[in-house]
Amino acid sequence: MSAEILNQSDNVFQMWATFALIIGALALYVSEKLSIEVTSIGVICLMIAFFQGFPVSSPDGLNTLSAERLLRGFANPALITVLALLVVGQGMVRTGVLDKVSRMVLDLGADKEWLSMSIVMAVVLIISAFLNNIPVVVIFIPIMQVLSDRFKRSTSKVMMGLSYAAVLGGMTTLIGSGTNLLVSSALLEMGEQGFGFFDFSVPGIVLAVAGLAYILFILPSQLPDRTSLAHRIMTRSPRHFMTQISVAPGSRLIGAMVVGGVINKLVDVRVRMIVRGEKVLTPPFHDELIEEGDSVTVAASRQALSDALNDDPGFLLAAANEPGGEDAMREGERVMAEVMVAPASSMIGLRLRQTGFQLRTRCFVLGIQRRSQMIRSRLADTVLAAGDVLLVQGEPGDIEALRADRNVVLMEWSTEEMAVAHHAKRAAMIFFGIVFFAATGLLPVVAAALMGAVIMVLSGALNLQQASRALDSKILTMIPAALAMGAAMQETGGAHFLAQSLMATLNGASPAVILSVFFAFTAIMANIISAKATAVLFTPIAIGVAREAGIDPQVFAIAVVFAANCAIATPIGYQTSILVMGPGHYRFGDYFRAGAPLIVLLWIVFSLFAPWYFGL
């Protein structure tokens, strides 16, 4: 039978060459001997050269796999949408909007990791049922990063689950995924009835619930504990900085209780001294309430100070009142960094207020850390010594200028951009504007996303450099390469050959068995040629099989929807998988190790539930 199918094709050589090229590309992706970017561009170049010499001709004599056709992925609306939404998502991060969302989740989760993660995954799943998966994942990536930091958990343990939750949610409604819309469109083109909004919601919800259980209870054990070098340095650093907080009128600390040196309204902060008028309070503290006007000296981690300043840039008002402090605390681009007092520094032996550091450098000193010594004086009265580490904040140019300051040594790895909180409202409005215009159809998704990215820069929430850093080179190269490979399989007849060969082996099987095997094979192909390509290629085959078996074609079309969305065992199958690759520090093989068991689970659940639900 396979020989008969081959005889029907005019491009057998090109088809097998395409198979070999795809297998070779997958082997390079897995081995990581070359970077993903180099492999992706290399695959496209090889395909252009091969199909130039061995063209696949259309009835009118044109090469259907010309260079123009294979490079079309770089102008694909989906790719442009993804890149634009990455910029928008970065704007949401830079303005601190998502940090506030993560705090809401923490509040709902009562600071319990399992409950917080469950809430996030459930929210992602529900939102993805009504919004495109890509922007949902883009927006929630930084939220997962914040939650991971809070619970001291590697992002590699949770990012894959975020992608999977979005995919599962997208299975439940017509607009949940572009794949679903493609299948419905293919049905209409073949003269069949398209899907209604909730036509496959019931089986979709069953699969989503099963998948969510896998994400919460099994997936973390399948994923590596892997972080970037910068993250390991930052999180393993034992430094706690001494700083001073003035409790101004209206401060959120008024009425906060200090028990054993811990403030119940601040995380990872310990009180060392409270100055109340002429009275100085020192440990141990027994249920001491903070009052308006108190000057509180605390030891806090860098993350705790960063979180406090993102919530309220004027939180550390006492130090800002020192000369130069008010300049560094003003609204605008702010960077946090660590500097060490150099051995020959002229600042040694002087109180911080006497050094003129803040006035000279325009950098505000947030805190001071001294190895193996507890500082109990006011921040401005601290006498500096060689080796002291100052946690400073300032504009990017001012922090950069510290490289040339002989009094201090800038620690390169410590530089971190801080949230521009005063732009938070406009960033949120831009995001919801994108959602509104895309959801209502007033603008195409790609147009809404591009306009949102441009407005995000024009509004000041991001500058051009920050926007360009948000673009991921892996996404920019891998999506076009995957689309080119899918086009080659379609035009050479490779996908049709594989599908028809499989159907030939199932001759005489029961409808339930045919449906189950068809689901499994479609899911496998989706991980090779992408979810959207699979939706387009396999819907006509599904209709043909259904007609031969005397079954409602929509049943097999629904199988295509679910199976195509199972493109999660490789990063090239589904775009959300690529999105979490960088933040999760994943390698190609991690996707198979984590995604294959979920695909098997979804296949089993579908094979058991669908025949009963559809009466097969």
The 3 state secondary structure assigned to 260-281 is CCEECCCCCEEEEEEEECCEEE
The burial class, CB within 10 Å (0-12 / 13-18 / 19+), for 308 is buried
Please provide the DSSP assignment of 86-97 as one string: HHHHHHHHHTTH
Q: Which of the given ranges, 61-75, 86-100, 538-552, has the highest pLDDT on average?
A: 61-75
3-state secondary structure at position 416: strand
End-to-end Cα, the chain, rounded Å: 27
Pick the residue with more confidence: 255 or 517? 517
Residue 323's nearest CA partner among 351, 347, 353 is 353
Residue 205 pLDDT grade (very low, low, confident, very high; cuts 50, 70, 90): very high
Tell me the β-bridge partners of 339.
390, 410
Residue 178's nearest CA partner among 538, 532, 542, 578 is 532
- Indicate if the pLDDT at residue 234 is higher than 60: no
Return the pLDDT at 239. Answer: 66
Q: How many residues comprise the chain? A: 616
Question: In whole angstroms, how far apart are CA 589 and each of 27, 31, 181, 355, 596?
Answer: 10, 8, 30, 54, 11
Q: What is the pLDDT of residues 240-266, one digit of tens each?
A: 778 777 777 777 778 777 876 777 666
8 Å CB contact between 520 and 596: no
Residues 329 and 110: their CA atoms lie apart, in Å, by 32
3-state secondary structure at position 586: coil
8 Å CB contact between 430 and 88: yes
Q: Which two tokens stand for residue 548?
A: 């031969």
Return the pLDDT at 597. Answer: 94
Residues 74 and 140: their CA atoms lie apart, in Å, by 25
Q: Which two tokens stand for residue 3?
A: 């020989």
Q: Which two tokens stand for residue 523?
A: 């899911």
- Indicate if the pLDDT at residue 328 is higher than 50: no
| Model pTM score | 0.63
Please provide the DSSP assignment of 318-370 as one string: HHHTSTTHHHHTSSS--EEEEEEE-TT-TTTTSBHHHHTHHHHH--EEEEEE-
Give the range among 149-163, 278-292, 373-387 with minimum mean pLDDT: 373-387
Q: What is the pLDDT of residues 160-184, one digit of tens each?
A: 999 999 999 988 887 777 778 778 7
- Indicate if the pLDDT at residue 565 is higher than 50: yes
Per-residue exposure over 38-50, b if at least 16 CB sit within 10 Å of its own CB, e if not: ebbbbbbeebbeb
Per-residue exposure over 542-572, b if at least 16 CB sit within 10 Å of its own CB, e if not: bbbbbeebebbbbbbbbbbbbbbbbbbbbbb
How many CB atoms lie under 10 A from the CB of residue 268? Answer: 15
Question: In whole angstroms, how far apart are CA 576 and each of 170, 571, 579?
Answer: 11, 8, 5
3-state secondary structure at position 410: strand
